[in-house]
Amino acid sequence: MHLHILGIGGVFMGGVALLARDLGHTVTGSDAKVYPPMSTQLAAQGITLLEGYDPAHLDPVPDLVIIGNALSRGNPLVEAVLNRDIPYTSGAQWVADHVLPGRRVAAVAGTHGKSTTACMLAWILDYAGLDPGFLIGGVPENFGVSARLGNNSLFVIEADEYDTAFFDKRSKFVHYRPRIAVLNNLEYDHADIFPDLDAIKRQFHHLVRTVPASGQLIVNARDRHLSEVLAMGRWTPVEYFGAKSGWSAATAKADGSRFQIFYKGEEQGAVEWGLIGNHNILNALAAVAAAHHAGVAAKTAIAALAEFRNIKRRLEVRGRARDVTVYDDFAHHPTEISATLQALRARVGDARIIAVLEPRSNSMRMGVYRNTLSASLSFADGVLLLRPDGLNWSLERVTAALDGRGRIFTSVDGILGALVNELRANDHVVIMSNGDFDNIHTRLLERLQE
């Protein structure tokens, strides 16, 4: 069967492409402005990517078109699919229909950390010899691909609350019918589709409703919004992490690179790994708890975490030049920004941290975080903000609260010029965006090397 994927460059849809190819289908796709790591993954896997949204991409006519949620009515390819009466579906629905049946699905949901936690869980299961399938919204370093079918009944999937497609406004995760569901945390986000936090809570409760009584909920005990979701009704046993009554941790190093794990007050072992930050300790607890329910002993999970390498674009070191370290981080929510910078501060001590932020997400552009963004940047010694076209609120309110540590630029070239002139040995530059940021990481390293 020939499948054509619209929006194939997205982290989710790119993974769908790999699964479809591994099932024996011919896979092609269309997208615009595709960037690493998904562009390089597709190229390495030999999947044909057609640039743009030309209706000619549908010739010869595919048997099925899988449409990503980034595409809406008015897109030339979407209109061509509808006008020519070509069968179509969403990515989440296709996975639910063709990959998940007969599988024991472990779904990882949450406003933050779901990619990393899903990656940890898949790696622990793989380390234990279970060879799980997975679909993750990013490229895990331990696997080198964002999705695979695996050879076991277990399947780990990142469970996104974002809507499914222009014709299906339910959250993607309601399609997955998991037996194990991890609820990491819950905050307001995606202001373009959710009017308020209560709307997101309802979607999370829809996910809870799909988990059978014989399944397991793994829930962050510290998150009151998740408690409110469970209070709407649940029919499945709950195990908590982040609390002494369930899975808990004690930090042995301030940066979170070493910690002990406890289960119901009994120590299970110590993790020493390459990740940092209290947020990643919580992610690890969630993954260990989910793996435990899947039959993996805590000691095995702890040994796996010692060899865990994070997903790309999570405080990823892109390179060093002139004794300056340049990081790429996907953070685009104040909570994520704060967690990233706080973790790095614990690691580097008094060394200078320069945060470079592109306010690119829909929620950021809409000004949802205008009152909390400055506080999230407090661990940085300097902040450089890009003012993108179409931003409908004033970034000056952010810089005004940074006591002279923040500056606003209208171009990436302007940011590069400032960085090259002002960086000095032992500085750490954290570049944060949920897009490619005009390849600023590579360009900065090249300029520094010059």
Handedness of CA 40, 43, 48, 54 (dihedral sign): positive
What angle, rounded to 10 degrees, do the helices at 114-127 and 298-306 form?
110
**How confident is residue 359, by pLDDT bands cut at 50, 70 and 90?**
confident
Please indicate, yes or no, whether residues 162 and 294 belong to a single structural domain of this protein.
Answer: yes
Q: What is the pLDDT of residue 22?
A: 94
pLDDT tens track for 229-242: 999 999 999 999 99
pLDDT tens track for 137-151: 888 889 989 999 999
Domain assignment of residue 311, yes or no: no
Q: What is the pLDDT of residue 184?
A: 95
Please indicate, yes or no, whether residues 206 and 272 belong to a single structural domain of this protein.
Answer: yes
Peptide bond into 140 cis (omega under 30): no
The predicted model scores a pTM of 0.91
**Looking at the predicted structure, is the pLDDT value of residue 87 above 80?**
yes
Q: What is the pLDDT of residue 31?
A: 92
Please indicate, yes or no, whether residues 158 and 288 belong to a single structural domain of this protein.
Answer: yes
The larger pLDDT score, comparing residue 391 to residue 306, is at: 306
CATH number of the domain that 34 lies in? 3.40.50.720
Domain count of the fold of the chain: 3
Domain assignment of residue 327, yes or no: yes
271, 306, 341: which is the final residue of a domain? 306
Helix (H) or strand (E) holding 268: strand 266-272
Domain assignment of residue 263, yes or no: yes
Q: What is the mean pLDDT of the chain?
A: 92
Which range of residues forms the domain containing residue 255? 100-306
Q: Rounded mean pLDDT of 197-201?
A: 95
Domain assignment of residue 198, yes or no: yes
Q: What is the pLDDT of residue 128?
A: 97
Please indicate, yes or no, whether residues 80 and 140 belong to a single structural domain of this protein.
Answer: no
Domain assignment of residue 95, yes or no: no
Please indicate, yes or no, whether residues 219 and 140 belong to a single structural domain of this protein.
Answer: yes
Please indicate, yes or no, whether residues 143 and 278 belong to a single structural domain of this protein.
Answer: yes
Domain assignment of residue 336, yes or no: yes
Q: Rounded to a whole number, what is the largest CA-CA distance in the chain?
A: 62
Please indicate, yes or no, whether residues 123 and 250 belong to a single structural domain of this protein.
Answer: yes
65, 90, 115: which is the final residue of a domain? 90
- Residues 6 or more apart whose Cβ sits within 8 Å of residue 447: 416, 419, 420
Distance between CA atoms of 196 and 191, rounded to whole angstroms?
7
CATH number of the domain that 415 lies in? 3.90.190.20
Distance between CA atoms of 103 and 89, rounded to whole angstroms?
21
CATH number of the domain that 290 lies in? 3.40.1190.10
Contact, 211 vs 181, CB < 8 A? yes
Distance between CA atoms of 118 and 115, rounded to whole angstroms?
5
The larger pLDDT score, comparing residue 54 to residue 138, is at: 54
Q: What is the pLDDT of residue 219?
A: 97
Distance between CA atoms of 437 and 433, rounded to whole angstroms?
7
Please indicate, yes or no, whether residues 231 and 122 belong to a single structural domain of this protein.
Answer: yes
Q: What is the pLDDT of residue 382?
A: 92
- Assigned token pair, 50: 């057609």
Handedness of CA 124, 129, 135, 141 (dihedral sign): positive
Distance between CA atoms of 10 and 287, rounded to whole angstroms?
24
306, 326, 361: which is the final residue of a domain? 306
Please indicate, yes or no, whether residues 299 and 220 belong to a single structural domain of this protein.
Answer: yes
Please indicate, yes or no, whether residues 109 and 181 belong to a single structural domain of this protein.
Answer: yes
Domain assignment of residue 371, yes or no: yes
Contact, 167 vs 40, CB < 8 A? no
**Looking at the predicted structure, is the pLDDT value of residue 35 above 80?**
no
